[in-house]
Amino acid sequence: MIQIHLLLLWMSRISVYAQSSNYPDCQSGPLAQFPICDQSLPSRLRAADIVSQMTTAEKITQMATTAAAIPRLGIPKYQWWSEALHGVAYAPGVTFDGDLPAATSFAAPINLGASFNTRLIYRVANAISTEARAFNNEGQAGLTFFTPNINIFRDPRWGRGQETPGEDPFLTSQYVYALINGLQRGEDDRYLKMAANCKHFDAYDLDQWNGTDRFHFNALVSNQDLVETYLPPFETCIRDVRVASIMCSFNAINGVPACANKFLIDTIARKSFYFDGFVISDCGGIDTIMYDHNFTSTVEDTVAAALLAGTDLDCGTFYQRYAQQALDNKTIVESDIDRALERTYNALIRLGWFDPPEQQFYRHLNKNHVNTVKTQQLALDSAQESIVLLKNVNNALPLNINELKNKKIALIGPTANATILMQSNYYGRAPYLIDPVLGFKSITAGTSIDIEFAYGCAISGTDESDFTAAIELASVADVVIFFGGLDQSIEAEGCDRSSIALPRIQYDLLKRIEDVVQSPIHVVIMSGSGIDLTFVRDSSLYGSLIWMGYPGQAGGLAIANAIFGEYNPAGRLPITFYPASYVDEVSMTDMQMRPSATNPGRTYKFYTGKAVYDFGTGLSYTTFVYSWNDQLTSFSYSIDLLMKDNYDEKHVLTVLLQVNVTNTGAVAGDDVVLAYILPPQLKRNGQTPPIKQLFGFKRIHLNVNETGQVFFPLEISAILTVAHDGSKWLHPGIYHILIGQTLMRSIELQGKSARWS
């Protein structure tokens, strides 16, 4: 309370607040005397009151993302659809102009996953929510943002994988916990800072592949995969961090469209995960129930299917067009609409939409809180911390500026001068974009190093007209750095890949460059997904390989800092890089995670083939050594006793695992310490266990010869096995704990198998 009193005292000195036309007036407007404006009442009662003041026709106008004004009640028009995936972004509810022409553009979510740094993720989210509030106060954004995307990146072809933190349920759950806290919670705990939205619920990870699109796709998902892989991030988002809203997806799940799926929305989200927010459809998602999935045959039945399943808000106009008809033929009753609106209005109340501006800290945020020195540095941090060094032969990197005097560095390739491409998708207008060429010239300014650029080729296509200039530059350069990768014409919303190889035009250019270079080639890949780079990995003609994802507004400076050693890269792959043949081994429509006769297995947990680069791969310019902080090598537990003690899944099974990490190299740097559990490799009831699964990670910075400690709680949840029917079991056997790739100890469970839940 002391903090709030200080905030209110400070705010009393501020004379300019957000324009009241964007908000209802609870001080002198038509609603002033109604319970909706009584802040002493619970938000649910206030929401019920405002809905009760509306006519049926008025209620229906509030059931879409573009909610109409209700002048007689003093309720302004409200646009529910704003975006802020990795910065305030273009959307129907967001505009960039006037005093707020731009917003900080942070690295893409796939990059934040690669950082394995939940503190960074929280800081980025908090900065985004501050800028979002500033935009809202200027009437340039809403308060409800359709972010984050927490679907599991299970297939490398998915065009929207770049919007997620990666392929692992544990990493994704840790990401969403940090992110939602940063987005929704801030300086004033009386209000939501903004209302986030976890999407897409659930098993959505196909957009357009081989004749199947997301609007028609019926995802056949076993209970085992649902519980083990697809639901955990949503459970964290809903139950553990209490997100304000979730979005149901376009696809059907086991024959039932997600937005009409009462089992998914009501039984799982509301009853099992205790969700108390509102559910919105993906945009046009209610239409797909009838027109694409053919789940219903009339518009009235479609309204009823979605509304009664628990889809409260329509991103579209289906409810607005047909809810009255559904009422007229008694497919629904008015209390069904009331229930939905009470949920959506409850969110607006929690955001302070009805409360006086002078008492709200967030209402003072303005242009001075956007694109600050701190957020500029944070954007650079998000780009740098996500850089993944995959190959570095004989310390080819970092480049030594002092040894390159009077030398020529050639930057060749279609992403060397990338600008907007660095912003991935769901991006906004950035205050500036530092491409790699500009970044390199900035680092070498004032030296005699000659930085030259040749485009060489487009991301894809067959035009080789720029090959000659690139090859000529490569032949006379002392250092050649090739910048390649993908763009939104290859991987994007509505566009899945058919190939996971480097586009042929880039491969052909690199092969030509190999014939003329004077030293090993350095390769930098900009992409939101994995690429088969076996030829770069295995050839002595390539000295280094870096994956930089989509790094945001400061990406060019980040990669220049890393290559010249101003920053020591420590990112780790949040996805598996598969061989190109993977796409021929499994259909993208196959949702099964475990291997089968037609599926080599998905993600590092189940893939039975040889990866090009494994999940968690990443090098440093220094070296680290791990050791246990104690002498214990193994633990033993009785399954019977664990069951009798009636613990929950979050109970820590053993003392904190304490690991010493020592920097044994020549430069300071970060290390990402990954902790895995390796279950007994025994098939039970024909089910293959995971090869290994992540249960902890920690990013730590160490100076030369410095030793630090990291701690990993091993919870019971890490050793539970999910059966085909979705039940969880404790099975006897030896479970190995693996820290990184070297440090191991074991836990033995003794007794008979027991069902946990």
Check pLDDT > 60 for residue 19: no
Q: Helices 334-350 and 299-309: crossing angle, nearest 10°? A: 50
Q: Are residues 542 and 439 in the same domain?
A: yes
For residue 741, the model assigns a pLDDT of 86
Q: What is the helix (H) or strand (E) element at residue 524, kind and residue range?
A: strand 521-526
CA distances from 222 to 302, 365, 592, 601 (A): 26, 47, 7, 15
| Number of domains composing the chain | 3
Q: Are residues 398 and 506 in the same domain?
A: yes
In a domain, residue 82? The reply is yes
Catalytic residue among 155, 202, 205, 282: 282
**3-state SS string for 439-464:** HHHHHCCCCCCEEEEECCCCCCCCCC
Distance of CA 691 to the CA centre of its chain: 24
Question: What is the CATH number for 31?
Answer: 3.20.20.300
Q: Are residues 393 and 343 in the same domain?
A: no
- Out of 307, 341, 363, pick the residue that ends a domain: 363
For residue 647, the model assigns a pLDDT of 87
Q: Helices 373-384 and 555-563: crossing angle, nearest 10°? A: 50
Residue with the two structure tokens 């780009």: 383
Give the mean model confidence (pLDDT) for residues 96-122: 98
Q: Are residues 510 and 654 in the same domain?
A: no
- Out of 363, 397, 432, pick the residue that ends a domain: 363
Q: Are residues 317 and 464 in the same domain?
A: no
Q: How far apart are the first and last CA of the chain?
A: 41
Question: What is the CATH number for 715?
Answer: 2.60.40.10
For residue 742, the model assigns a pLDDT of 83
C-alpha 348/C-alpha 365 separation (Å) is: 18
Structural domain including 22 reads 2-99+137-153+195-363
In a domain, residue 166? The reply is no
Check pLDDT > 80 for residue 402: yes
Which of 13-27, 75-89, 110-124 has the lowest average pLDDT? 13-27
Q: Are residues 354 and 378 in the same domain?
A: no
Question: What is the CATH number for 597?
Answer: 3.40.50.1700
Q: Are residues 285 and 392 in the same domain?
A: no
The pLDDT tens digits for 20-55 are 578 999 999 999 999 999 999 999 999 999 999 999
The pLDDT tens digits for 736-752 are 999 998 888 999 999 99
C-alpha 229/C-alpha 232 separation (Å) is: 6
Question: Are residues 546 and 436 in contact, defined by beta-carbon separation less than 8 angstroms?
Answer: no
The pLDDT tens digits for 141-186 are 999 999 999 999 999 999 999 999 999 999 999 999 999 999 999 9
Band of residue 2 on the pLDDT scale cut at 50, 70, 90 = very low
Amino acid at 73: L
Band of residue 129 on the pLDDT scale cut at 50, 70, 90 = very high
Q: Are residues 644 and 703 in the same domain?
A: yes
Band of residue 654 on the pLDDT scale cut at 50, 70, 90 = confident
In a domain, residue 124? The reply is no
DSSP codes joined into one string, 313-333: BBSSSHHHHHHHHHHHTTSS-
User: Residue 593, Cβ neighbours under 10 Å: how many?
Assistant: 23
Q: Are residues 462 and 583 in the same domain?
A: yes
In a domain, residue 130? The reply is no
pTM, two decimals, is 0.96
In a domain, residue 210? The reply is yes
- Out of 342, 363, 384, pick the residue that ends a domain: 363
Task: Identify whether 282 is a catalytic site residue.
Answer: yes
In a domain, residue 693? The reply is yes
The most distant pair of C-alpha atoms in the chain lies apart, rounded to whole Å, by: 82
Q: Are residues 317 and 463 in the same domain?
A: no
Band of residue 4 on the pLDDT scale cut at 50, 70, 90 = very low
Check pLDDT > 90 for residue 675: yes
Q: Are residues 338 and 384 in the same domain?
A: no
Under DSSP, is residue 601 helix (H, G, I), strand (E, B) or coil?
coil
User: Residue 357, Cβ neighbours under 10 Å: how many?
Assistant: 20
C-alpha 38/C-alpha 685 separation (Å) is: 58
The pLDDT tens digits for 414-472 are 999 999 999 999 999 999 999 999 999 999 999 999 999 999 999 999 999 999 999 99
The pLDDT tens digits for 703-727 are 999 999 999 999 999 999 999 999 9
In a domain, residue 269? The reply is yes
In a domain, residue 702? The reply is yes
For residue 12, the model assigns a pLDDT of 39
Q: Are residues 321 and 457 in the same domain?
A: no
